[in-house]
Structure 1
Amino acid sequence: MTPARWSLPGEDAGEEMALVSSGLSRGVRDAARPCRLLIVPALFDEANRLRRFTVEVMRRLDRAGIDSVLPDFPGTNESLLPLETQDARLWGEAMAAAAHRFAATHVLGIRGGCLFTPDLPAFHYAPLKGAQILRGMLRARMLASREAGLEESREMLTERARSEGIVLAGYPLGSGLFRDLENRQPGPGAHVIPQDRIGGSGLWLRAEPDEDAAQADALAVLLAEAMRP
């Protein structure tokens, strides 16, 4: 896996980072590798818990002759942009720009990443609605506040988040992104891959970032078989 840069849409919008497989790192399309997969990562804390798993899937796809690219969302990881200025439109446009830059033929959304898959033949792995993501983050915020001797209700936190933004699980979400996520759902038409097709429990449920070779094998095989002409 190799880092690469790609440009956001718009003048003076800057560049973001992506992790690319060996074929992409050479900057040329190999006629023997006609498929190229854009992977839209999981969001927030799940992105950290699933990062290693995602990279292991990319390595397996590379060995199967399929290029792949894992871009950062603006405002996350190595991005120089502040997370609190992002919204769903900007993230959707960013993933579309990454798909164009790397000439992706297919897209895989992982968990919350399924909310932002561009218009390509799509796979959605264990997809989530935006409201589900926010519920989990709000619950974690309320539990942490209670342990600190504070009482914060879901209604109070939601109202504040909609009007002025909020920090949830260490992530400063602007009011625009929070409101967008409340109503955002994965787009139709994708091939949905539920966890029971992969086997075992989802790695996002574990307390710390982890990997599972059998799950990475299973997802890579499923994708490779579906993508090959």
Structure 2
Amino acid sequence: MTPATWLCPLPDGGSQEEQALAFDSGRACRLLIVPALFDEGNRLRRFTVEVMRRLDRAGMDSVLPDLPGTNESLSGLPGQDARHWQDAMGAAAQHFRATHALGLRGGCLFTPPLPAFHYAPVKGAQILRGMLRARMLASREAGLEENREALTAAAREDGLVLAGYPLGSALFRDLERLEPATGASVIAQDRIGGSGLWLRAEPDEDAAQADALAALLVEAMQP
């Protein structure tokens, strides 16, 4: 596994270098992985890398790009919107010559137009509901009362910090309506076994789940 870079298009017509993790030996099968979003992305990152290691051993290349505004990106998260993330993943797929795409959870909202797999896909509105719930619980523990309607109105107008992530108004409004595209091969959690790692309190990994997901992908991607 090595760090890699790619040029991400910017809304003003320019471009900016973004980071990725890659197992790239120039092989025929090349999987672009769109990571889970926000805190779920943190909880699934070790699992994602373990799946990539298994694909590498099976003779398949894979790449995990940063969404602009996340991880090592020099862009700010508040300035992102769905169109930019979709364009970014399309550019990453082209740069790394991806033949297939895998979306993880909320990443399924941004898989590029390739033969795609969606692992435990989730609607954007579901992601926001969970983040709003987490904010209200944290506020209550701090002795403050907030309600969903007021928070949602504020987020649509000015953006809002949710679970430590400063979401801009454009991205919040986009996520409210986004659903995973149809046509992808859906991989439900019950095909992997166990409970979803995004439900755990801390980032974790599960060798059996990584084995299962990698095996499904290898079987489906083999020519």
Same fold (TM over 0.5): yes
In structure 2, the residue matched to 1:3 is 3
Q: Say which SS state the counterpart of residue 14 (structure 1) adopts.
A: strand
The AA in structure 1 aligned to 2:17 is E
The AA in structure 1 aligned to 2:20 is A
What's the TM-score once normalised by structure 1's chain length? 0.95
Q: Select which of 114, 121, 135 maps to 2:129.
A: 135
The AA in structure 2 aligned to 1:20 is A
Q: How many residues get paired?
A: 221
**Cα pair distance change 1:22/1:13, threshold 3 Å:** closer
Alignment of 1:84-123 (within 5 A): 84-123=78-117
Instruction: Write the distance in 2 (CA, Å) between the matches of 1:118 and 1:162.
Output: 26
**Structure 1: gaps (5+ residues):** 24-28
Pairwise CA RMSD: 0.7
- 1:145-201 C-alpha deviation (Å, 9 max, x unpaired): 111111110000000000000000000000000000000000010000000000000
The AA in structure 1 aligned to 2:148 is R
Instruction: Write the distance in 2 (CA, Å) between the matches of 1:160 and 1:121.
Output: 38
Q: After TM superposition, give the deviation of residue 34 of structure 1 in Å.
A: 1.3
What's the TM-score once normalised by structure 2's chain length? 0.98
Alignment of 1:11-160 (within 5 A): 11-23=13-25, 29=26, 33-160=27-154
Identical aligned pairs, as a percentage?
A: 77
Instruction: Write the distance in 2 (CA, Å) between the matches of 1:51 and 1:8.
Output: 21
Q: Say which SS state the counterpart of residue 115 (structure 1) adopts.
A: helix
In structure 2, the residue matched to 1:26 is none
Deviating above 6 A after TM superposition, structure 1's stretches of 4 or more consecutive aligned residues are: none
Q: Say which SS state the counterpart of residue 4 (structure 2) adopts.
A: strand
The AA in structure 2 aligned to 1:176 is A
Q: Select which of 177, 182, 185 maps to 1:188.
A: 182
In structure 1, the residue matched to 2:199 is 205
Instruction: Write the distance in 1 (CA, Å) between the matches of 2:75 and 2:102.
Output: 24
